[in-house]
Amino acid sequence: MGKVENALHDLIDSRTKRAVRDALVDLTAQVRTMAAELAALRATLAARSEASVAAAPETEAPTMLRFSKRMLKSVRKKLSLTQKELAQLLGVSVVTAAAWEGGKSTPRAAKLARIAQVRGFTRAEADAALGREVSPGISSVQVRTIRRQLGLSQARFAKKLGVSTGSVNAWEAGRTRPGAARREAIFALAAGASEAPVPEEGATAKKAAKKAARKKATRKTARKKPAPRRAAKKTGRKKAAVKKAAAGKTAKPRTAPKPEALNADAIRQLRSAAGLSQVRMAKKLGVSVNTISNWETGRSTPRGGSLRKLHEMK
């Protein structure tokens, strides 16, 4: 029997090895075929990429603008445009332009290309696109010089032009420039100042003297005003003191005298004298049974309202 078993084992081993060898031969052939196909695919992909790179200069795609609300606002400020004028340049409604600038929505690809185009405009090109007359430019030095010739502060100059003081400050610092309407208004103010009659020296001195006298009178009045207020304060204090004294005669003391503390034995005696159990006593005092037990064992002591109720039970 041992020989037969050994023969069977040898037969099984040989057949198994042969089957594995045949399967490996098939797998090796498949791997080689797939490797050849992969190499062919790689060669095709490389050829296509080279062809696309070579054709790129001839069919160059337009560069997409990275949009942000700050960028759009800076473009509008640089060109000195209102939102209505910007919307007109972009070919959209004022509501849409305001939504883009406020970050509530973003433009599509077609409008991004138009924004990129408007971004490259100069002020003259923007004026020409809007069909308005190109007014002469004005520099920060000119704005400052005109304001000083008029003898105005930045706040008063801004008020005359209908803008904020920050806008005038930005114009004079060279951060921004006034738009067409503001430029015309500045030039009109400058022309009015140059055409205005120059007052005589004596008249100027009289005006300055009157102005100084008014300032002096205002200061004196301001110094005298606090006296009535102090008198009124003193009168008010006296009235308050009289009322307080009158109220003190009939008023009751706000706080009752603090009751004496009770120890555990005293609490236990009070409960026994009243003929109450811990449960009924807790209900009467509005506390828990555990609290009564802690009082009687000395783990805690009654305070406040509970202590007053215990004294009332005496």
Tokens 């000083």, residue located: 148
126 plus 80 within the same structural domain:
yes
Question: What pLDDT, on a 0 to 100 scale, did the predictor assign at position 10?
Answer: 82
Phi, psi for 310 (deg, rounded to 5): -65, -40
Question: What pLDDT, on a 0 to 100 scale, did the predictor assign at position 96?
Answer: 92
Question: What pLDDT, on a 0 to 100 scale, did the predictor assign at position 99?
Answer: 92
**Which structure tokens are listed for 48?**
């296509």
Cα pseudo-dihedral 78, 79, 81, 86, rounded to 10: -100
Question: What pLDDT, on a 0 to 100 scale, did the predictor assign at position 268?
Answer: 85
**How many domains in the chain?**
4
Question: What pLDDT, on a 0 to 100 scale, did the predictor assign at position 153?
Answer: 93
Instruction: Give the domain-ending residue among 61, 81, 111.
Output: 61
Q: Residue 57: which domain range?
A: 24-61
90 plus 121 within the same structural domain:
yes
Instruction: For residue 114, tell me if it sits in a domain.
Output: yes
Instruction: Give the domain-ending residue among 104, 130, 156.
Output: 130
118 plus 89 within the same structural domain:
yes
Rounded to the nearest angstrom, the gap between the alpha carbon of residue 41 and the centroid of all alpha carbons in its chain is 54
Instruction: For residue 44, tell me if it sits in a domain.
Output: yes
Instruction: For residue 54, tell me if it sits in a domain.
Output: yes
* Inter-residue contact 121 to 79 (CB < 8 Å): yes
Instruction: For residue 135, tell me if it sits in a domain.
Output: no
Instruction: Give the domain-ending residue among 7, 36, 61.
Output: 61
Instruction: For residue 308, tell me if it sits in a domain.
Output: yes
pTM: 0.32
Burial class (CB in 10 A: 0-12, 13-18, 19+), 36: exposed
119 plus 149 within the same structural domain:
no
Instruction: For residue 248, tell me if it sits in a domain.
Output: no
pLDDT in tens, the chain (314 residues): 677 788 888 888 888 888 877 777 777 778 888 888 888 888 888 888 777 655 544 444 445 678 888 888 888 888 878 889 889 988 899 999 999 998 898 888 888 888 888 888 887 788 888 876 555 567 888 889 999 999 999 999 999 899 899 889 988 888 777 877 888 889 888 887 654 443 443 444 456 567 667 776 776 666 655 555 555 555 666 666 667 666 654 445 555 677 778 788 888 888 888 888 888 888 888 888 889 888 888 888 888 888 888 888 77
- What DSSP line would sit under 241-289, residue for residue? HHHHHHHHHHPPPSSPPPPPP--HHHHHHHHHHHT--HHHHHHHHTS-H
Instruction: For residue 148, tell me if it sits in a domain.
Output: yes
Q: Maximum distance among all alpha carbons in the chain?
A: 148
The enclosing H or E element of 67 equals none
Instruction: For residue 213, tell me if it sits in a domain.
Output: no
303 plus 277 within the same structural domain:
yes
Which residues, 6 or more positions from 167, have their beta carbon under 8 angstroms from its beta carbon? 158, 176, 178
Question: What pLDDT, on a 0 to 100 scale, did the predictor assign at position 62?
Answer: 46
Q: What CATH number does the domain containing 179 carry?
A: 1.10.260.40
